[in-house]
């Protein structure tokens, strides 16, 4: 699929990023439009870079503000919104500079810094593919929850057959979730192999067509470069974060300050990929990665705080062996365990206490099924948007560097 195809996105993120930055750039131009066109960039250029740093900080302060929503589907979607806005503003900064400044993109050390950033970004593409598989795993779990819900919430008096059907669905769900924990990737999804580079309509048709999972698996193994069975999220995160260092003073001066936006986007990319791996089931979810940024940067405090809170969440007794820290996964585990206990063994007729417990459990089941139904498709579209945006930005920078090296 072409990198410019953004159909299916839940929000026009590119427009948001451009509109926010264009407003701020207009403000900057009123301060010093003449200096912005000079080869060195001038005061307006410096102010634009400062505005970008501040906006990144504002986005992550908002993400850190709501403790109750942390790691929920809604929060993860907001995280991806923030990344896409940052990515678009970063792209605009790189390509809105004057012709004199743009020459810097192809000169040391900025060419090396950009190359390092896009190397990290390419590694993030595998994380996006792994997260898509994790979203499919959540869909599979939701199907079992909905089978149980249909049996227990059909609007008619409960019979023994309905209770047994619900218990079987919950037992199957428990086995799937245990398998996900033990294999660190899921026995089913290890056989799937696809990339966001393919059309979503085609993959959806193949997933739901008469060929079933086996045909889909064979297709993707033969024509995609998605994650392999030996792929490790922990190792990939380590590779993304390797040698992520604050630019030195000489690098900042030699790049006319552009080294700092590159470092900022590298750090944001690393954190967002780490948070996705923390929240969503995927292969070898190791979270023991080193993440450290200087406290004096505007966005450092909020991102560091989020990193620490998520890591502390992973150390809690009831989350240590979880296949994902997503809030809805915790709700699935609690709800299915509660209902399974009520239904094992199935005793009919139900006692008044069990009947009340089942009604409460069904209400919880309705809530979690609704959250998954409303949140998973938009989340997948956003992860896909991140994938495509990374591909497009990398292509644009490479084309720009090529033109700089080979001027007409």
Mean pLDDT in consecutive groups of 10 residues from the start of the chain, 408 residues: 39 42 44 42 83 98 94 98 97 75 80 95 97 95 96 81 92 91 49 50 42 36 56 95 94 94 98 97 85 92 96 89 93 93 79 87 95 97 98 90 66
Query: What is the C-alpha separation between 319 and 297, in angstroms, rounded?
Result: 32
For residue 345, the 8-state DSSP code is S
Quick one: 327 and 397 in the same domain? yes
- Whether cis (ω within 30° of 0) applies to the bond prior to 105 is no
- What local confidence, expressed as pLDDT, does residue 404 receive? 65
Whether 4 is covered by a domain: the verdict is no
- What local confidence, expressed as pLDDT, does residue 97 receive? 64
Quick one: 136 and 265 in the same domain? yes
Whether 72 is covered by a domain: the verdict is yes
Distances in Å between the Cα of 55 and the Cα atoms of 51, 59, 304, 334 are 6, 6, 16, 38
Q: By CB neighbour count within 10 A (0-12 exposed, 13-18 middle, 19+ buried), where does 180 fall?
A: buried
Quick one: 177 and 314 in the same domain? yes
- What local confidence, expressed as pLDDT, does residue 405 receive? 62
CB 175 within 8 A of CB 167: no
Quick one: 182 and 128 in the same domain? yes
Containing domain of residue 209, as a range?
198-226
Quick one: 218 and 236 in the same domain? no
Whether 3 is covered by a domain: the verdict is no
Quick one: 204 and 241 in the same domain? no
Quick one: 212 and 344 in the same domain? no
Quick one: 286 and 358 in the same domain? yes
Whether 6 is covered by a domain: the verdict is no
Query: What is the C-alpha separation between 6 and 32, in angstroms, rounded?
Result: 35
Quick one: 221 and 236 in the same domain? no
Quick one: 209 and 314 in the same domain? no
SS3 395: helix
Query: What is the C-alpha separation between 59 and 67, in angstroms, rounded?
Result: 15
- What local confidence, expressed as pLDDT, does residue 156 receive? 72
Whether 128 is covered by a domain: the verdict is yes
C-alpha closest to that of 279 among 119, 138, 116, 395: 138
pTM score > 0.75 for this model? yes
Q: By CB neighbour count within 10 A (0-12 exposed, 13-18 middle, 19+ buried), where does 397 fall?
A: buried
Quick one: 161 and 244 in the same domain? yes
CB 137 within 8 A of CB 189: yes
- What local confidence, expressed as pLDDT, does residue 387 receive? 98
SS3 288: coil
Whether 5 is covered by a domain: the verdict is no
Quick one: 109 and 205 in the same domain? no
Angle at 186 (CA atoms; ends 184, 188), nearest 5 degrees: 160
Number of domains in the chain: 2
- What local confidence, expressed as pLDDT, does residue 232 receive? 93
- What local confidence, expressed as pLDDT, does residue 138 receive? 97
């Amino acid at each position: 699929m072409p990198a410019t195809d953004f159909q299916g996105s839940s929000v026009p993120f590119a427009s948001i990023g451009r509109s926010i930055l264009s407003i701020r750039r207009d403000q900057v131009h009123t301060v010093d439009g003449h200096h912005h066109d000079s080869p060195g960039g001038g005061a307006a250029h410096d102010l634009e870079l400062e505005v970008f740093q501040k906006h990144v900080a504002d986005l992550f302060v908002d993400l850190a503000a709501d403790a109750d929503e942390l790691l929920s589907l809604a929060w993860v979607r907001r995280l991806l919104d923030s990344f896409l806005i940052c990515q678009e503003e970063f792209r605009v900064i790189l390509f809105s500079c004057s012709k004199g400044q743009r020459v810097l993109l192809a000169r040391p050390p900025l060419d090396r810094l950009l190359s390092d950033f896009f190397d990290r970004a390419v590694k993030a593409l595998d994380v996006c593919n792994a997260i898509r598989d994790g979203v499919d795993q959540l869909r599979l779990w939701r199907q079992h929850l909905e089978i149980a819900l249909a049996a227990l919430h059909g609007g008619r008096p409960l019979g023994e057959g309905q209770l047994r059907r619900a218990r079987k669905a919950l037992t199957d769900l428990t086995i799937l979730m245990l398998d996900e924990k033990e294999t660190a990737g899921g026995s089913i999804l290890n056989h799937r192999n696809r990339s966001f580079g393919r059309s979503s309509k085609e993959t959806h048709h193949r997933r739901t067509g008469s060929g079933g999972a086996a045909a889909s698996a064979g297709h993707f193994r033969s024509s995609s470069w998605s994650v392999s069975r030996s792929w490790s999220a922990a190792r990939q995160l380590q590779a993304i974060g390797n040698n992520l260092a604050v630019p030195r003073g000489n690098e900042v001066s030699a790049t006319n300050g552009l080294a700092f936006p590159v470092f900022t986007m590298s750090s944001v990319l690393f954190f967002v990929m780490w948070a996705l791996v923390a929240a969503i089931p995927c292969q070898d979810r190791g979270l023991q990665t080193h993440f450290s940024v200087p406290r004096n940067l505007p966005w450092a405090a909020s991102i560091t705080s989020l990193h620490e809170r998520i890591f502390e969440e992973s150390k809690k007794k009831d989350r240590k062996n979880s296949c994902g820290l997503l809030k809805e996964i915790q709700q699935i585990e609690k709800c299915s365990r509660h209902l399974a206990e009520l239904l094992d063994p199935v005793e009919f007729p139900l006692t008044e206490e069990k009947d009340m417990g089942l009604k409460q459990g069904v209400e919880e089941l309705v809530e979690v099924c609704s959250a998954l139904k409303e949140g998973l498709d938009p989340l997948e579209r956003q992860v896909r948007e991140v994938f495509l945006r990374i591909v497009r930005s990398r292509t644009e920078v490479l084309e720009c560097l090529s033109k700089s090296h080979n001027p007409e």
